[in-house]
Amino acid sequence: MRPLRAGFLAATAVTVAGALTGRQRWQWAAKPLMMPLLAADIATSRADIAPADRTLLLSSLGAATVGDVLLIDPDDDRRLIAGASSFAVMQTGYAALWWRYGARPSPAVAVPRVLAWAGAAALLRAKAPALAAPLSAYGATLGTAAVLASDPALAADADNIAGLNIPNADPRSRLGVGALLFTVSDGLIVLRRLFARGERSRRVVEAVILATYGAAQFLLADPAAHERATRGAVEPERFSAGSA
């Protein structure tokens, strides 16, 4: 494993431990390092990534860094809304990348995610109306990126079960799992905000949120998944020459 990605895993582990034990200083020390370490790995990778794609990916990770800092205190609703705005920028960047790689929405992939988004939006309107609009808007960007990440055209040799590409040797086959982990992480943020009451339960859920978030970003920001060579798996008629 490349040193910068190993450093990301170490920073993630410290961040998760800080959340689980209530040591916020650990999070302040480690969490802001997570995305910059992945960004540095992308920037220094020898992978054949198109310059425009590399810039878009680095910009997305930059937006995620802002969101990470804002959400170190997950119990402040103002910071939660601001963090969601930063992550909306990131998800939009990811969606643009998957689109450039040839991904397109399909009903089989989109319908379950639209239903999940509608259910979460309804729950927010009922339980936390002040958060409903901004978090639902963020959920739309998350869902868009997740739908595109699971398009079978991104990894033609991978099995697709229930609208999810099953990971194989193709790095692009793991993008759907990364997007799914992101969805789980963000769904748990909503559930924690609405239902977790005890200090212990809030810490445990926050640790799971951060662990799934770290795993998602590890898969989504893998340089191998962004190499131009892997685009051969995308159907030629669905890939624009202008994306190269």
Map out the domains of the chain as residue ranges: 3-243
The pLDDT profile of the chain, 244 residues, written as one tens digit per residue, is 899 999 999 999 999 999 999 999 999 999 999 999 999 999 999 999 999 999 999 999 999 999 999 999 888 999 999 999 999 999 999 999 999 999 999 998 899 999 999 999 999 999 999 999 999 999 999 999 999 999 998 988 899 888 889 999 999 999 999 999 999 999 999 999 999 889 999 999 999 999 999 999 999 999 999 998 665 444 444 444 344 3
Contacts of 239 (CB under 8 A, 6+ apart): 101, 102, 231
SS3 readout for the chain:
CCHHHHHHHHHHHHHHHHHHHCCHHHHHHHHHHHHHHHHHHHHHCCCCCCHHHHHHHHHHHHHHHHHHHHCCCCCCHHHHHHHHHHHHHHHHHHHHHHHHCCCCCCHHHHHHHHHHHHHHHHHHHHHCHHHHHHHHHHHHHHHHHHHHHCCHHHCCCCCEECCEECCCCCHHHHHHHHHHHHHHHHHHHHHHHHHCCCHHHHHHHHHHHHHHHHHHHHHHCCHHHHCHHHHHHCCHHHCCHHHC
